[in-house]
A and B are shown apart, each in its own frame.
Chain A
Amino acid sequence: MTAPPAGARTLDESRSKALLADYGVPIAAERVVADAVGAVDAARALGGRVVVKLCGDAIAHKTERGLVRLGVEGDGAVAAAATELLAAARPDDGEVAILVAEMVSGSRELIAGLHRDPQFGATVMLGVGGILAEAVRDVAFRMAPLDELDAHEMIDDLATQRLLGPFRGEPAVDRAALVGVMLGLARLAAERPDVVAVDINPLIVVGGAPVAVDALVELAPDATS
């Protein structure tokens, strides 16, 4: 993955998700903390296994840099993960924090996003997500604004329809909820001209319902947020 173009700015994961939540995108519960002590408190509050990530405006693709620890459980493990991640920060990452999130799981990972096309303007995307998204390239685009029918047809456009039905003991994907995500992205495109791109990847299907587990909002170079 390439770095953001010079001058472009990205919101950190937590702020990206907060913005998307305002537009109706379901987000896994999470806390942003400064250090290992805060991480332990956050993990206790969330309960169970958690995800620990390094988070910062200039950090775009955490997985590629090994800045995501999945399924961390217990005070010691959480504290160790937070300490290691903070130590992995580079000077050019700027201000960083630790994000502790509820560990959601599902076999299916989708991707959704917003892209401002040079010819067709704001477009909304839905596809098969996860780390293989760009290799698989099973995606559908529509121009924003789009209506519910368009969003349903995007779901139908995906080649991997089997992924959307009942799958490995999990129920079929809640299409209405998926439509909600796409309509939310379209609304965001209209109301926030300063947002040039959004990635929600993965959008994990948890018991049929899509939940954004990572997200990146890219802002126009001259915008302030």
Chain B
Amino acid sequence: MSSAHLRPEHFRALFDPRGVVVAGAATHPGKFGFVSLHNLLASGYEGRVAGTNLRGESVLGIDTVASIDDLPADQYDLVFVCTPAAANPEVLRSAAAKGIKAAFVTSAGYGEAGEQGAAAQAELVALGSELDLLIAGPNGQGVVSTPSQLCAQIVAPYPPAGSIGIASQSGNFVSSFQNWALFTGVGVSRAVSAGNAAMVTVADYLDHYAEDPHTRVGLAYVESIVDGRAFAERARAITERMPLVVVKGGATEGGAAAAASHTGALAADDRVFDGVCRQVGVTRATTVEEAFEAAATFATQPLPRGPRTVVLTTAGGWGVVTADAIAAGDLELIELPDDLAEAIDGHLPPRWSRSNPVDLAGGETRDTIPTVLELIAAHDQVDAVVYLGLGIQSNQARMMREGRFYPDHGLERIVDYHQRQDARFATAAAEISTRTGKPILTATELSVADPTNAGPAAVRASARLCYGSANRAVTALEHLWRHARWRQRRGLDG
């Protein structure tokens, strides 16, 4: 812990407060003090909400008070600070006097603002310790906590509820991850922008998430790691309890600067951080979407017990590309076991591939896909399945539905049938995955091109991620397998 006085109750005050005070509530819709109050009220937070405003104006129906001193004690746990830095010591003293345990400070003018700012930041931390307060930020964008329907942030959006816990050194990355959550439907438990992380660091939040029953996976953006060793130790303590996906900005400093050695020169380009992540079980992603999709997969799929992967596809070309992606990494494209091929034989005309990828070659009838998916996933030599081809028929159905012949000529009936079938397949994939305890990842570009397609829509309804391409599904699955293998090799699953 960066600050010795912090206890779980401080984090509870931040993430699950009984009441929130917005200090510096403003009537101008462009100001942080307005936006944060708006987001808090608009997202369904059910605790008490109060605001302070020097003129005591009414903001969004909240009758503000001039000072926290005018509020009742022991009703609020969190103060969301939008006042100028110079006013904050008084705000914090008043807050602590009313039993408030956590402050989120959005104010700028601290560590990011030269020597004077750094001094103000040091004073802020010292004051927080003295007052037994958790101080998040300063210069942060806010905190989100779906179990409490809390959206105390100066940016959008409010994501759907889920089990991804986000902590970021950049507030805009929180926004990015939450936008992906909103788009995919794979939701967030807690999210916090650490700002200058004066008292509470990204690692501190993640450490709290690892103990949080609402959070299954951590998702973090870090850019300046001051003490790499300490970071590695904290990360390892977290990854033993939950998967942790990290995006890191900025290459490792200094590695090559004074290097006389080849080894030193080769230590540039972030190679050291890469090795550290592998050593301590951190899942490192290079892009926002790769990071989100890895986290979303940890959040919604069981961990594979091994690398043995089977691809099920309704069309050949996709399977070939997916097989290539699997072969290029740590997953294993297994040879289809004879007994599995024989079991599938009974459900398909002879032209199917009889190999992995399992290419149904258009031979499927009403129940083929759920049946074959079940046979594959249940086989004891299979650890994971990638399923391709969902939504094709519904895509055709859309064309029929939107064409000028609809609903005549039997079109209404066939459109309904295709949509029902795709929804069924998506639901079956989730159910079979749950039943077998094995990951089944469904991929189609329709999840992006037409999210209303019955296939992707049903994947979303099943609380899984529908991957925008097979390659993205393979990347996510590989991240899961690497983490599972890291755990297995270190005896963490006993």
A residues neighboring B (CB under 8 Å): 1-5, 8, 10, 60, 111, 113-115, 117-121, 123, 125, 127, 133-134, 137, 139-143, 146, 149-150, 153-154, 157, 197-199, 201, 216, 218
Contact = CB atoms under 8 A, between A and B. Distances in A.
Contact of B260 (A2, A141, A142, A157): A2
Interface stretch (B163-171, B249-257, B367-375): B249-257
Nearest to A3: B260
B286 to A, nearest CB: 16
B265 A216 contact: no
Interface in B262-287: 262-267, 269, 271-276, 278-279
A197 B279 contact: no
B189 to A, nearest CB: 30
A2 B252 contact: no
Contacts of A146: 279
A126 to B, nearest CB: 10
Contacts of B252: 117-120
A141 B258 CA distance: 18
5 contacts: A113-B261, A118-B254, A123-B267, A127-B266, A143-B232
Given A123-B267, A198-B263, A142 B258 contact: no
A117 B228 contact: yes
B267 A115 contact: yes
Nearest to A113: B263
B103 to A, nearest CB: 30
Contacts of B255: 115, 117-118
Contact of B279 (A10, A150, A198): A150
Interface in B205-254: 225-229, 232, 252-254
A10 B232 contact: no
A197 B266 contact: no
Interface residues of B, number: 31
B490 interface: yes
A199 B228 contact: no
B265 A134 contact: yes
B228 A119 contact: yes
Contacts of A123: 267, 272, 275
A199 B261 CA distance: 6
A111 B263 contact: yes
Given A2-B259, A117-B267, 6 more contacts: A1-B265, A117-B228, A134-B265, A134-B266, A197-B260, A198-B263
B227 A141 contact: no
Interface centre among A123, A150, A199 (most CB of B within 10 A): A123
Nearest to B269: A137
Contact of A201 (B254, B262, B490): B262
A8 B260 contact: yes
Given A119-B252, A139-B266, A197-B264, A154 B259 contact: no
B489 interface: yes
B276 A120 contact: yes
Nearest to A6: B258
A121 B267 CA distance: 12
A197 B261 CA distance: 7
A10 B266 contact: no
Contacts of A134: 262, 265-266
Contacts of A201: 262
Contacts of A8: 260
Interface string B118-162: 000000000000000000000000000000000000000000000
B278 A157 contact: yes
Contacts of A60: 260
A173 to B, nearest CB: 19
- Nearest 8 pairs between A and B by C-beta? A113-B263, A119-B228, A141-B275, A4-B260, A120-B228, A197-B261, A118-B254, A115-B263
Given A120-B229, A123-B267, A140 B275 contact: yes
A117 B253 CA distance: 9
Nearest to B267: A115
Contacts of A1: 260, 262, 265
Contacts of B232: 120, 143
Given A137-B266, A139-B266, A141-B274, A115 B261 contact: yes
A139 B255 CA distance: 14
A157 B261 contact: no
A60 B279 CA distance: 31
B228 to A, nearest CB: 3
Interface in B81-137: none
Contacts of B261: 113, 115, 197-199, 216, 218
A8 to B, nearest CB: 6
A49 B253 CA distance: 44
A141 B271 contact: yes
Contacts of A119: 225-229, 252-254, 272
A150 to B, nearest CB: 6
Contact of B272 (A10, A133, A141, A198): A141
B272 A120 contact: yes
A90 to B, nearest CB: 17
Interface string B171-188: 000000000000000000
Nearest to B253: A118
A57 B378 CA distance: 64
A213 B335 CA distance: 43
A141 B272 CA distance: 5
Contacts of B490: 149
A146 B254 CA distance: 23
B275 A154 contact: yes
Contacts of A137: 266, 269, 271
Contacts of B227: 119
A113 B262 contact: yes
Contacts of B260: 1-5, 8, 10, 60, 197, 218
Contacts of B272: 115, 117, 119-120, 123, 141
Given A141-B274, A143-B275, A143-B279, A197 B269 contact: no
A2 B252 CA distance: 19
